[in-house]
Amino acid sequence: MKPAASISLDLDNLWSYLKTQGAPGWETFPSYLDLVVPRILDTLDRCGQRITFFIVGQDATMESNRAALKSIAAAGHEIANHSFMHEPWLHLYSREQLHQEIRDAENAIASVTGKTTRGFRGPGFSTSPLVRDVLAERGYAYDASIFPSALGPVARLFFFLNSKLSAEEKEQRKGLYGKFSDAFGTLQPFAWENGLVEVPVTTMPLLRLPMHTTYLMFLAQKSEWLAKFYWNTAVTLCRVRGVAPSLLLHPTDFLDEQDVPEMNFFPGMKLPAARKTALIEHTIRSLQQHWQTGTMSEHAAASVLPGAASARLSTLHA
């Protein structure tokens, strides 16, 4: 029996990228979901792969997005919570603000997909002990907001240099992509004291370099051979170190600057979408070769000891 691994996709929409960057026009909530969701679902269908979609609640309130979001649930994928307004400073929220933010997203997502969310990932990997306590209080089974990489602060600096943010906005976003000390955390799923299971986004064992597909697209824009070599090296290190990966995807991994000119600032957007999709298929099939690859809840349930968290996961799974 192969060990469990997982794939998830943060369904960050065009407006959320523009908002985080400080670009004008995000307030009208421009969307590319009707374009990218069918492309994502077609790719997953070709691979015979079910994954977890982390959905932003605000998108579920808009009629123009409903068909795309319904199609994800109809295809049998797991639906999870990615906050309501996609603000990567949840660690600054009060308990009351967190309850409202998470509850509003739950309600909006359920109204469209018919699914109750019991998994969560903070925007920009924003998390804190208070965030995790609120998730446990709301009956969540797992969180996936830890990014154990030393390159988080480097990515944040790159982002700030290419953004239009004021000093105050940069201060708000100073926790974006985590902190350097996160690189020393475990790559294995574990349970917090409150029973919430944490499934870290997998980074390369030993080196703790990113291995999510957005980073691969950045490399592939320079050399697709290099991107595949990098990925295959990461897979080999995971196998040697006994790490069952939790792979993170983003919509931009299926889009290029011809699809979304407003996103030309984002890494990897010069690589044609068809070549990006082919690279995604390569990563998924390599995971399937070595691991029992499924949703986040399946990965979490297979990785934790019996207890309150595993009971919640079993309920979610049923």
- Which residues lie closer than 8 Å to 100 by C-beta, 6 or more apart? none
Neighbours of 258 (CB within 10 A): 11
Distance between CA atoms of residues 64 and 195, nearest Å: 38
Angle at which helices 224-241 and 213-220 pack, to 10 degrees?
150
Closest CA to 199 of 297, 81, 128: 297
pLDDT at 196: 96
d(CA 102, CA 83): 6
Q: In this structure, what are the phi and psi dihedrals at residue 62, rounded to the nearest 5 degrees? A: -105, 125
CA-closest candidate to residue 260, choices 7, 23, 74, 90: 23
What are 151-158's contacts with CB under 8 Å, separation 24+? 151/208, 151/209, 151/210, 152/125, 152/177, 152/178, 152/179, 152/180, 152/182, 152/183, 153/177, 153/178, 153/179, 153/180, 155/210
Give residue 236's identity as a one-letter amino acid code.
T
CB 171 within 8 A of CB 181: no
CATH of the domain at 53: 3.20.20.370
Residue 196: phi and psi, rounded to 5, are: -70, 130
**Distance between CA 298 and CA 6 in Å, rounded?**
8
Domain count, the chain: 1
**Residues 157, 78: Cα–Cα separation, whole Å:** 33
pTM, full prediction: 0.89
Domain with 61 in it: 4-317
Dihedral sign from CA coordinates of 132, 135, 136, 142: negative
One digit per residue, the tens of pLDDT, for the chain of length 318 reads 899 999 999 999 999 999 877 788 999 999 999 999 999 999 999 999 999 999 999 999 999 999 999 999 999 999 999 999 999 889 889 999 999 999 999 999 999 999 999 999 999 899 999 999 999 999 999 999 999 876 555 555 555 555 555 566 555 555 555 555 566 789 999 999 999 999 999 999 988 899 999 999 999 999 999 999 999 999 999 999 999 999 999 999 999 999 999 998 888 999 999 999 999 999 999 999 999 999 999 999 998 755 545 555 554 543
Are the C-beta atoms of residues 220 and 268 closer than 8 Å to each other?
Answer: yes
Tokens of 252: 């931009």
